[in-house]
Structure 1
């Protein structure tokens, strides 16, 4: 058994789907072992029409859900169903997704570009909010996205993870999927950018929990056709990637220890 599949754990996902997509097998194994992992969705704020600009409206059309109230209802319903499939509860935080944060990110190149410097304060706020959650336990493991694909929200949550590491938490970064699946070079590019911010990867065999991960992904009916538009068989694609991660022997997921900020921890 991997050291990462025992003990208390928080799985932090920027959006409604990132944990099942990326490391649902590990979360499911922890749940099966009676360790009560919890999934935290960060950018899950209430949504009003005034927050939906032209770029956000275009995203909604791709999801085939256009009413602001309906967007949140649909996505939370999907997230809750996926969490039940994995066997863990989910908590939604009140921060707005990047596409709803005014005019900071108004196109895909900006959304998958550099994190705005002023948002580093938001990372510090998020780290403090996570430490104040009812689910928080000293010594627990915290899982955050590595930031493959460079989505600004994933980068922001990773930065929150570094701050948690600086405060003594055991933080691990998961391999963001499907970005790591359809653009493998993105993993190496992200690791090169992070440098010493992360340690050597840890491989976690997930065995039959792979099927649970796939079933959890399938719960996101509004998202699967969009995020897996590069394949006609998302189940086979996820399974093949997990097997490749496990060296062709058994399906696995990959995590990197997150180091504290320079001069801290």
Structure 2
């Protein structure tokens, strides 16, 4: 059984699914599938699209360092992220079904999954960020798998930190997939997660690591630090 970590952008697995990739048993193949890997986003306005080649190259270098450190293979699918497709601020207001890239993304992910056994485990974003790239990855994998069985939903970070537990639970219920939460203790692994996040220097805002840490402590509820994933509830 292989485990595939579908990352809308380089950095999403380090931010949101680090505990999950750490827990892949030794000898089990694991791969990071980064989908929207062409970018010109550098946290400055106006966006300079002539910087796309330099930014994209740096994203690849960062992603390679992370994948190698975790013993994972890396696939970059080469789709343009929202910095190259739409105006700033639009990316969190467009449903995935209305994005003209969706058929191409679904076809590329179909090619990835065609080479895998039926019992492959797919890790995808929960989509609470509302970012269309996250929603496309989630929705395409669900469509290709025919549902949520064998799919693990990781919470989009740092976005989740701004929501209450009630809001997150309501979002999950609204998906209608019958998902249940599973806490993954980070414990002594937190410094390794910080190191992993820092590998993505070009994508890291000053506030990101403190925000992710606050959320990890919130989930730990005074007993440590954790990440959370959602899976189809056992019956």
| Aligned position for 1:262 | none
- Aligned equivalents of 2:19 and 2:148: distance in 1? 26
Deviations 1:161-219 (A, max 9, x none): 2113317861111000000124447634632542x134111222233333222211001
Residues paired across the two proteins, number: 228
Deviations 1:64-85 (A, max 9, x none): 9862221111111111112223
Tell me: CA distance 1:126–1:189, structure 2 relative to 1, closer, same or farther (3 Å): farther
Take 1:130 and 1:140, find their aligned partners in 2: how far apart are those partners? 11
Where does structure 2 lack aligned partners over 5 or more consecutive residues?
Answer: none
Relative to the length of structure 1, the TM-score reads: 0.74
Q: Which residue of 2 aligns with 1:89?
A: 73
* Counterpart position of 2:103: 121
Aligned with residue 10 of structure 1, among 4, 12, 30: 4
> Is the aligned partner of 1:250 residue 2:224?
yes
* 1:39 and 2:28 are equivalent in the alignment: no
Question: 1:216 maps to which residue?
Answer: 196
Q: Structure 1 residue 253: deviation in Å?
A: 1.8
In the alignment, the residues of structure 2 paired with residue 206 and residue 36 of structure 1 have an alpha-carbon distance, to the nearest angstrom, of 22
Matched position secondary structure for 1:30: coil
Query: How much has 1:249 moved relative to structure 2?
Result: 2.3
In the alignment, the residues of structure 1 paired with residue 153 and residue 76 of structure 2 have an alpha-carbon distance, to the nearest angstrom, of: 20
5 Å-filtered alignment, 1:1-265, equals 8-30=2-24, 33-45=26-38, 59-60=41-42, 62=44, 67-101=51-85, 105-108=86-89, 110-115=90-95, 117-119=97-99, 120-122=102-104, 124-133=106-115, 136-166=116-146, 170-184=150-164, 187-188=168-169, 190-194=171-175, 196-225=176-205, 228-229=206-207, 234=209, 236-257=210-231
My pick for the range that moved more, 113-122 or 70-79, is 113-122
8 Å contact 1:29–1:206 — kept in the other structure?
Answer: no
Tell me, in whole angstroms, the C-alpha distance in 1 between the residues paired with 2:201 and 2:43: 14
Distance change >3 Å, CA 240–CA 155, structure 1 → 2: same
Measure how far apart 1:115 and its partner are. Answer: 1.7
- 1:8/1:251 CA distance change after superposition, 3 Å: farther
Give ranges in structure 1 of 5+ residues lacking alignment.
Answer: 1-6, 48-55, 260-265
Alpha carbons 1:8, 1:35 under 8 Å: kept? yes
TM-fit CA distance, 1:126: 4.2
Q: 1:82 to 1:209 in 2, by over 3 A?
A: same
Q: Which region of structure 1 is more displaced relative to structure 2, 238-247 or 60-69?
A: 60-69
The CA RMSD measured in Å over matched residues stands at 2.9
> Normalised by the size of structure 2, how large is the TM-score?
0.82
